[in-house]
A and B are shown apart, each in its own frame.
Chain A
Amino acid sequence: MRSPKNSIWNDLDWITIGLYFLLVILGWLNIYSAVFNEEQQHGFHFGTRYGKQLIWIGAAFLIIVIALVVDSKFYSSFAYIIYGLSILLLIAVLIVGTRINGAKSWLVIGSIQFQPAEFTKIATALAMAKYLSHYSLKPEKFKTLLVFFAIIGIPTLFILLQNDTGSALVFFIFILVFYREGMPSVYMLFGLLAVALFVLAMLFENYIIIIILEILALLAFYILYRRQNETLIAALIVGISSVLVWLVITYFMPDASITLLLLLALFFSSLFFVYILFKNKLNGGFIILAVLFSSIFYAYSVDYFFDNVLDGYQQRRIKVLLGIQSDPYGAGYNVNQSMIAIGSGGPIGKGYLLGTQTKFKFVPEQSTDFIFCTVGEEWGFVGSAIVLGLFLALLMRIIIMAERQKSKFSRIYGYCVASILFFHVAINVGMTIGLAPVIGIPLPFFSYGGSSLWGFTFLLFIFVKLDSNRTQLIT
């Protein structure tokens, strides 16, 4: 029999821990470089950002110890309570929080600043694991989907109220977790359709989207029933009614919009179509019709949402990302400068501490959100690829660990950890190379900041702890 103390030591996943420390060390080296200033070499100094980060790394050890010492069952048993507490913290922030960089997301106690949103990620992951691991869970039920959205919706709402859009979006990545646990694929399809429609709605005029959707609906109808004649008739009906409506409308309303014409034509042709469906008892066709109309409605809502809900700067960032707007000194400035910095790194980079773009502050937020620029500029393609490779290795390791859990709770929590880390890496690195919108979320273990380092450390080491009890059933 092994002693319990030895047991946990041996059961810890040292690969994960090794990757964690490697990333943290690389992160600190880059913060040092980003802050490093040749002219003002004060020697080492705890007042500097790299000094503070070192303190936080030290404090992270304490968090690791706490995460590992707490009994695995605690996380499972108290998951909802922790979740509830984190929501309370979010509410507290809204009332007594401090606004830093436009987001009222900080609790300041003495000299310690803390972002409850980081803690909320852990709490939500626990709650999600708890809910999805319930033995009687029926993933295909609509109610499950509703609860799922409730769990992520509540923190999202409060974090949105704090004006911290980036952190709020993180929770939607739990869709991946739900998917792993049996979410019907059709939800995934709808999700992808929604994203695609959003982008299309941004890029094109509404009438083009209506035409695309009509064609898609006809295709779907054809694929579903393999009825050439009916499909052709349906297409003809749409076409002819479009022309008819066009003739009639332009006679009475000379300046009617194309969109209106198309919508009316669609409405009239749908009436004929419904008749055909009834006659041939083709019930699937109704679903296609329903999807078609709701998609059109959605496309309109996207426009409304974009124009009326999103802030100007958010609109600009999305437009710049989609290439609708070019603005190298405005919304696109960060990304442009960031890409210049990374691009100028070349194959092997300019050398550690020798970056010019990041050093001379052409890239804003370089030690926090744009820390990856320092990697790209000073360590080049080789360094960037290695860092991304390390992150991927960590993600894969977590998936492997999750799949070896006996307890469903541990597995789901593992996927939550992987998803959160993935979302941060994908968005953060993506925005520095112009592939993702500029959403201010940190690069795990790299970005300067205590809250995020502690948050990710805690998040990861709870899973390391759960993994050390992987043979047990935790409920």
Chain B
Amino acid sequence: MNPYLSRKYIIGGIFSLIILIYIIRLFFLQIVDQSYKLSASNNVLRYVTQYPSRGLIYDRNGKLMVYNEAAYDILVIPRQVEPFDTNQLAKLLDLTKEQIAQRLKAAKNYSYYKPSVFAKQISARNYAPLQEQLYNFKGFFVQTRTLRKYPEKIGAHVLGYIGEVDDELTKKDPYYNSGDYIGISGVEQSYEKVLRGKKGVEIFMVDVHNRIKGRFKEGKFDTIAIHGENVTLTIDATIQAYGEALMKNKRGSIVAIEPSTGEILTLVSSPGFDPDLLVGRNRTENYDKLKNDSLLPLFDRPLMARYPPGSTFKLVNALIGLQEEIIKPWTVFSCYGGYNIGNFHMGCHNHRSPLDLKHSIQHSCNAYYANVFRSILDAPKYGSVENAYGLWRNSVISFGFGQKLGIDLPHEVNGYIPTLSLYNRIHGNRLKSLNIVSLAIGQGELLMTPLQMANMTAIICNKGYYYVPHVIKSTSETYDTVQKPFLIRKYTNIDSVNFEPVIEGMFLGVNGDDGGTGRIARMPGIEICGKTGTAENPHGDDHSIFIAFAPKDNPKIAIAVYVENAGFGATWAAPIASLMIEKYINDSIARPALEKHILERNLIDAQP
């Protein structure tokens, strides 16, 4: 009756086949393939970062140096934007209409659904009127950020600044996301991990329009932001400010160290800049301005500038001579208005002759040190000048020269102590002590940073050892770990007994009855020991150098002052060092005339 009955199986088969194919497909979609689950959580979860407040920075006396102030980023989600009054928004955000259109376009190009920063760092003052009006601008909302603030505009180089993390780093370090802030220089950089705290995250579920629909699993996976640790620096804000004032309109640096600990009291780089310039909306603009300034205000001179040490280096040669028993404190050399051998002449200034060790320091006799240096190099016990030079160089390096000291600030440079191979290249393997006699008086190829010079001064105070100079005094929690490397004494090759005559010489240099090169630094009531130096500068006037410490017994401060292109060491560097010491020890200035003289002097504009 029904010839096509068997076709019911074909139709039933088609139905079953399709359903079976669908079930297999579902099996792959739902069980085998995991990528859809990931896409689903990307779809639905929004991670809202909770930014911790950055740690505060105090000076050694608990004076606040850096704090935070709330600032407000305006974010926009283009998809949620409804037509708005461009003029009003332009006025509120202090932008032009074109900027608004342009930024909105940029945000759209980035993403229609994700928020992007529309205006950065609106100050609290501008934010108040904006907040009242923000409901008129659908799709715009606010994210609170913090800005660094500086109660006193000092220590820009030490403190450093923060800025947006670059894209390179966001790829390398998963902690950072694009738009996060990170310390870029100074303490902000070297203690970034301490200061930054820990970001928190709130996980929200959002719908297709990016509207928040609730917390993911009732906030079970949320983490709260942990604010950054506060940091106390070894810097003394008072003398830091004073040093910056003294160095105003001068080029150079001041480094002061507490010798007994290696704690840095002052790091002045002049000309400096107002740290506020590198905060907030105008940061980029200001940065470019500072970067293009011919006086290089961004250049951190104490750590990065390299100068020959000049006569201050005689101290090192004296110490090596004593240690190697080439000279004794009572060894005398004559000075005939300089050092003359055959055609060679090294000048000296007028002083009595002959001099013993301490008086040679007092009067900074060039001839004395030419003799000392050559005696070391030519001493028969070393076998050759090369051997002697190698030994001498090792001793110099034991003072921390020619290498990074390891200060807890970025960008420190090595300095330079010439190697034997350099001289062998120059002198064709026939090195004579006379060839390099300028090393005796700190000239020649030597290059030191002001930090290294201050450290050398601290070594003299400590009679033979130093602690790595550092700016961290304590942090609120992780003190031990950050402090550890700075608790190790580093010894030089010089025995402590050999420092006595050198210190005596430095004392006489400032306080000697028959005058001394550093007598201008004399301060009644404080036993200042010092040594002048003049670094020859092939590009212009010599640099004025003065290193000093005080008091003579149980020194509290070791200081190195460099004033570029200021001529003889005593003229500018010595009084500045003296005033710094007075300010630090007495906390007041009893020499207002000298102070006025320094404060008002402009050594930058005076130059041709």
Contacts and interface: CB of A to CB of B under 8 A. Distances in A.
Interface of A: 38-39, 176, 179-182, 337, 339-347, 356-357, 359-362, 376, 380-381, 384-385, 388-389, 391-392, 395-396, 399, 402-403, 415, 418, 422, 425-426, 429-430, 433-435
B7 to A, nearest CB: 5
A59 B209 CA distance: 36
B26 interface: yes
Nearest to A380: B30
Given A392-B19, A435-B22, A176 B11 contact: yes
Q: Which residue, B29, B31, B36, B37, has most C-beta atoms of chain A within 10 A?
A: B29
Contact of B3 (A182, A360, A361, A388): A182
Contact of A346 (B22, B25, B37, B205): B37
B33 interface: yes
A176 B8 CA distance: 10
B16 interface: yes
Contact of B31 (A347, A418, A435): A347
Interface stretch (B39-47, B67-75, B149-157): B39-47
Contact of B208 (A362, A376, A425): A362
A385 B23 contact: yes
Contacts of A388: 19, 22-23, 26
A340 B43 contact: yes
B29 A433 contact: yes
B206 interface: yes
A345 to B, nearest CB: 5
A360 B213 contact: yes
Interface of B: 3-5, 7-8, 10-12, 14-16, 18-19, 21-23, 25-27, 29-31, 33, 35-37, 39-41, 43-44, 205-209, 213-214
Given A342-B29, A433-B22, A434-B25, 9 more contacts: A180-B8, A343-B36, A343-B40, A344-B40, A357-B44, A360-B43, A388-B26, A399-B11, A418-B11
Contacts of A425: 19
A176 B18 CA distance: 14
A360 B29 contact: no
B40 A356 contact: yes
10 closest cross-chain pairs (CB), A and B = A343-B36, A344-B40, A360-B207, A381-B30, A356-B44, A343-B29, A392-B19, A340-B39, A361-B208, A344-B37
Nearest to B26: A384
A97 B43 CA distance: 39
A395 B15 CA distance: 8
Contact of A357 (B3, B33, B35, B43): B43
A413 to B, nearest CB: 15
Contacts of B25: 433-435
Contacts of A337: 43
A446 to B, nearest CB: 15
Contacts of A376: 26, 29-30
B180 to A, nearest CB: 28
Nearest to B21: A435
A378 to B, nearest CB: 12
8 contacts: A337-B43, A342-B29, A343-B29, A344-B36, A359-B213, A381-B30, A391-B19, A399-B8
B106 to A, nearest CB: 20
A127 to B, nearest CB: 20
Nearest to B19: A392
Nearest to B211: A360
B30 A180 contact: no
A424 to B, nearest CB: 12
Given A361-B208, A388-B23, A433-B22, A341 B40 contact: yes
Nearest to B27: A381
Contacts of B8: 180, 399, 402-403
Contacts of B44: 356-357, 360, 362
B30 A38 contact: no
A176 B12 CA distance: 10
B40 A429 contact: no
Contact of A384 (B7, B12, B30, B33): B30
A403 B36 CA distance: 43
A340 B36 CA distance: 5
A361 B4 contact: no
A389 B8 CA distance: 19
Contact of A399 (B12, B23, B205): B12
Nearest to B12: A399
Contacts of A385: 23, 26
A391 B11 CA distance: 15
Given A180-B11, A181-B4, A376-B30, A38 B214 contact: yes
A429 B22 CA distance: 8
Q: Which residue, A38, A39, A337, A340, has most C-beta atoms of chain B within 10 A?
A: A340
